[in-house]
Each structure stands twice: as C-alpha cells, then as structure tokens.
Chain A
Amino acid sequence: MNMRAPDSNLPLMEPVLSSRNRSGIEIPPSVDSSAVHADRIGSPGQYPFTRGIFPDGYQGRLWTIRQYSGFGTAEESNERYKFLLDQGQTGLSVALDLPTQCGYDPTHPMARPEIGKVGVSLSNLSEAEILFKDLDLASISTSFTINGTAAIIYAMYLAVADKQGVPRAKLTGTIQNDILKEYVARGTWIFPVRPSMRLIADSILYSNEVTPRFNPISIAGAHVRDAGATAAEEMAYTLANGLAYVDELRSRGGDVEKFAKRLSFFFYVHMDFFEEIAKFRAGRRLWARFMKERYGVQDAKAQHLRFGVVCGGSSLVAPQPYNNVVRVAVETMAAVFGGAQSIFTCALDEAFQIPTEFSAELAVRTQQMIAYESGIARTVDPLGGSYFLEEHTDRMEEMILKVMREIDSYGGMEKAIEDGWIQMRLAERGLERKLDTDAGLNVIVGQNHFSKADEEIKIGELFTLDPTIAQRALEKYQRTLDTRNAAEVQRTLASLSQAAANDGENVMPYLVDCCHAYATVEEMVNTLKQQWGEFKEPVNL
C-alpha cells in the first residue's frame, strides 16, 4: 500500500473510518428505537412521502433506465440511441454539445473547437429531424440536458413531433431548463437572471397547456454537487431554486396546484450510502411540506418530489479505473433505496472521455442487475423504519433547512447568485474537499490509499471522435441555410423579437414558429439577446 500521495511532499494520514459524514453530521456508532419518530415516517405514497411517492414503489413502475449520451453529429447519436434502446434502455437522455448549449451556431469562432465534443450538435430543425429519425416520439421519453437554450430545444422537439405527425399532447420527457444552477455551477448561462426566469416561466406555462405529460423543468442539484457542494447543500440549493421558480410562476399567474405536478428534480448520488438515501428521503419530505404549508397545495401529485439521479461523475477517478464499476453499482443502489424515478449510470471510463459503446452497455447492465437480480426493487423503501436511517434522515433534514435559512437571510437565491456569493461558497467548499482528499482524510481507494507506487493508469480502448464531424456539421449547416425560405426566417424572428419585448407575451409559440422555419439556435438567441442583454459573470476570486 502506498501511504504517500504520488508526487507530493505531504504525508498521507492513515485511512480511517471517519465518524463524521461530508455534510458535517456526526454519526453515532449505533442508534436505537428511541431515535425513531414514527409520525415523521408515514407510509409509502402518503404525505409527507418520506418513504416514496407511490404506495407500490417499483412494483408499480420501475425507474426509467437512461444513459446520458450524444456526440458528434445527429447521425452518430441517432445510431447510439438505437443501440442503447436495443440494450433495454427505456428512455433517451440527450447530451448537447457546448455551442448548442451556449447559443452559438457551428460557424461561430467560439464554437469551432467544441462542435460535437461533449454532446450532439443541434443547430436547427434539420439536425433534430435526423437525430430522431425512425424513433417513435410518442412512445419514447426523451430527456434533454439543456438550460440556457432549453426553451429553444424544447420548441425544436415540438417541431420535430409536428413533422413526424406525433400529437404534442403525447410527448413525454424532460428538459433540464434550470438556469439558476447554471449561474453557480455549470456556466451555460446566456441572458441575465431576470429574463432567464421569464423564459423558464414561459416554457413551463406553455408546456402545462400543450404537452401536459412533459416535464418542462428538472431542478438540478447534480451540477452544484459537482462544483463542491455537500449532499445536504446539494439538496438545500436545489429546493431553494425550486421555491424561486414556484414564486416566479405564481407571480406570472400560474396555478401552483397545476404546474407543481410537472416540476421534476435531478440529483447526484455519491458513495456515502446512507447519507445519500437520507438526502433523498429528507428532500422528499421537505418539498411536500413546502408545497402544502407554504403554498396550500392540496393535490398529492403537486406535493411530490419526483427526481432523476445520476451517479456522481466527480466520484469517479482515473487511477485504477475499473474500481469505478463498483462505485457505480453502490451509487445506483443508493438511488434505488432513495426512490428515484429515473437513473443514469456513469460509465467506468467517464473520468477520461465520453463512454465507449462497451462501457455504456455495462452501465445499463448494472442498472438491470440491480433492478431484476438483486431484489431490492421489490419493496418500496425497504430500509424505512431502520433506527439509523430514520434518525439520519431527520439530521439531514435539519442540515438542509439550516443551509436554506442561510440563503434566505442572505436575500434569496437570485441575489446570492447575482452577487457571486454561492459561487464563492462552492469554490471554498471544493477546495476544502480537495485538501481533505490530498491529506487522505477522504479515502478514495486506488487514488489516495491502497494504490501501488508508480502505478500506471491502465484502461482499455477509449472513445475517439471522428475528426470529420466539425466539417460535416458545417456542411449540413450551410445546406440548411441555402435551402430554407429566408423570408420566412426573417418573419418568424421579427415576431419573436416583438414577443420578447413584451413581458406579457409568452415567447414559446414564436420559438416553435422559428424552428419550423429552420431558424438556427444562434439566430434565435441573438434575437432574444437584443431584447434582454447578456449575463455579466461576477468573478469574485
């Protein structure tokens, strides 16, 4: 065993089983029945939903098995989707490239090096038509990880459905559409906070009418966690963002009883098994209580915290990469014990590159083994009533509330983001976590403990991108510009511009018209930027 961090002058602490979890909660060596408050636990499917939102759990409906995927051009991604569906994946999760996420067409100078790298390039409707070719949108649930341009990509999805003759009301799926966490953690913001909040409210209110089975937002803690937050902070920031959206929608005249049913959430799951399970249970209980007590929501469906989970990308490490298979299995089990509605598993090579077909398949198989072989999915919340888990859920709940009160006393999420306060807190927390890892206090097997001296990182074949993708994307892009009706593009963009200038108007129908006319993402974004301006990032370092 190597007791020194490689290439460091710092001696590593001996690996110890810490009595404190990362959220800062002291864990007693044992807990007895006196710690359990039966009234807080309730039954599955009953308020406050600590034990899950459905009385029959996964027996009623298994979680949706998804893999986050997309790369290169629409043709390559379409092929990968068909492969994953053939392997038993039950929903699509579309990864978009950074130009599409940030509102740049492939021709923009900032876009060039990034075309098709971390996701598929989707600059206009003609690409979306290829991406979903021969896929039945009425039966496949499609989730898009998209935020700054979420309303545009949602409009494009509606336009594809129209083209395929699929009724909009039949569409199921999710757009992430959570801009508040982009400002703090993932950086694909475009517009300032205020107009961004309007755009999100527009898309949610429109979706409630037009695509009643679609989730127009997935309020996401995952990226905040990646950026340094603890499990409790992840849940706290996410619930705080969720409340900010609810307030925004209410101020726009939205009926909370109605729109709250379509709010969905998205979290990370890391390696601290019970901390994660308790986080999900406490979060579910808190959200139900906020909905009922703060907003007077009566319908149980509008009190539900429905969430998807992804295994913690930042919990995967490059040294001894095959260990990541085990990490993914443990994390997936925590998500299942926590009652997730959909799960993406990470692939073992994600600390290096986007997954190969081999590792993506292994990640899907991991979920299937847990679903069908392990038996843990048979009973809803099988650990419910455990002295330790129930006590830990209470402690996580207190910790989450403490962080939410700090945000409130700062002046709320919008202000905390505009001032860069949350960003600074996350950076400091991330530094703390890294220093603890370097010192060996966070044990990461194969990285800072139990590694062999001078070990070389060995991994099989990694995914390689076809070097011609950028060129092909540019050629297709040019072809679309040459063949579309330019006057129709100008007309629809001008209408969009007018709608954007008028706060009382919902921009969604105008975006759908633009998409139908083959207007590009950058053209739509620039039209909105002219009305709304751009976000100025506070750099407080």
Chain B
Amino acid sequence: MNHSTKKYPLTGRRILIGKPGLDGHDIGAKIIALTLRDAGAEVIYTGLRRSAKQIAQVAVDEGVDAVGLSILSGSHKELVSDVLNELRERHSEDIKVFVGGTIPPEDHSHLHSLGVTAIFTADMPLQSVVNRLSKDLE
C-alpha cells in the first residue's frame, strides 16, 4: 500500500510525544505533534521535564500505540533506555518507541539495538516521518 495516497494515514492511532529529562527545546516535539495530528492521529504531548517513569505511565494509562521521545541534550542513550525499561516493567513493550532530536549518526545503531523503532532527524521531511510511522504501526 502506498501510504502517501491516504490522506489521514494515522487515523485511529494514539501517540504520546514526550520530553524526557531537562532539555527545554520543544519546538521539534510540537511540530511532530501537530504533524501527526494533521495525519489523523490522536496525540498527547507531555510538556517539558518528564521522568521516564511518568512518560511510561502516561503511555500505558492512555493506551497509546507509540511513544515519540524528543531529546537534544545528548542524554538520549540513558533516557531512551530508561523509558524502554519502564515500559517493559509495565508489560508494555509492544508500544513502539521512536526518537527525534540531536542524535549523532554513530548512536543510531545503539538506539535501534535497545528496541527503538525509528530515529527522526531534523532534516527529515515531515511526510517521511508520517509515512514511516504509519508503516511501523500497521
């Protein structure tokens, strides 16, 4: 199926956008939240400075299909691993986790090996993000 032909390819999906840690730059997180909403998803945004525990708990309580984490401070390895652990502790490892922000290329394979579904960098077109997510969430 060609995802680009479907106008609202994320209809019926619930997605949590989270800002773990102390990084306060959230324009990227907000742009992604608005984009996913425009693509049909129900989007919840956590706001700033959430702990891994808080994010995992909201994800479980809200029954989301995916969690997007936005991190620009360089703490992505620790924070992503913390969120994945918290999800596992809640028996919710089926929730897909994707990551955006300042993620140096050499860290991508490490994050994938932890269980991250996709990594979105700032230069990636928003349509590609939507396409990729709708495919991963099928």
Contact = CB atoms under 8 A, between A and B. Distances in A.
Contact of A537 (B48, B51, B106, B122): B48
A187 B21 CA distance: 12
B34 A117 contact: no
Interface residues of B, number: 43
Nearest to B4: A9
B25 A9 contact: no
B85 interface: no
Contacts of A426: 27
A313 to B, nearest CB: 10
B131 interface: yes
Interface in A446-478: 447, 457, 462, 465
Interface string A428-447: 10110011001000000001
Interface string B77-103: 011001000000000000000000010
A316 to B, nearest CB: 10
Contact of B21 (A114, A188, A317, A435): A114
Contact of A541 (B33, B75, B131): B33
A340 B66 CA distance: 46
Contact of A98 (B2, B23, B27, B127): B23
B25 A7 contact: no
Interface stretch (A99-107, A159-167, A518-526): A99-107
B123 interface: yes
Interface in B1-52: 2-4, 21-27, 30-31, 33-35, 37, 43, 45-49, 51
Contacts of A102: 22, 24, 49
Smallest CB-CB A-B distances: 6 pairs: A187-B24, A9-B4, A98-B22, A113-B78, A427-B30, A8-B125
Interface of A: 5-10, 98-99, 101-102, 104, 109-114, 117-118, 182, 185-188, 226-228, 317-319, 351-354, 426-428, 430-431, 434-435, 438, 447, 457, 462, 465, 537, 539, 541
Interface of B: 2-4, 21-27, 30-31, 33-35, 37, 43, 45-49, 51, 73-75, 78-79, 82, 102, 104-106, 121-128, 131-132
7 contacts: A10-B127, A102-B22, A118-B73, A317-B123, A353-B74, A427-B34, A457-B105
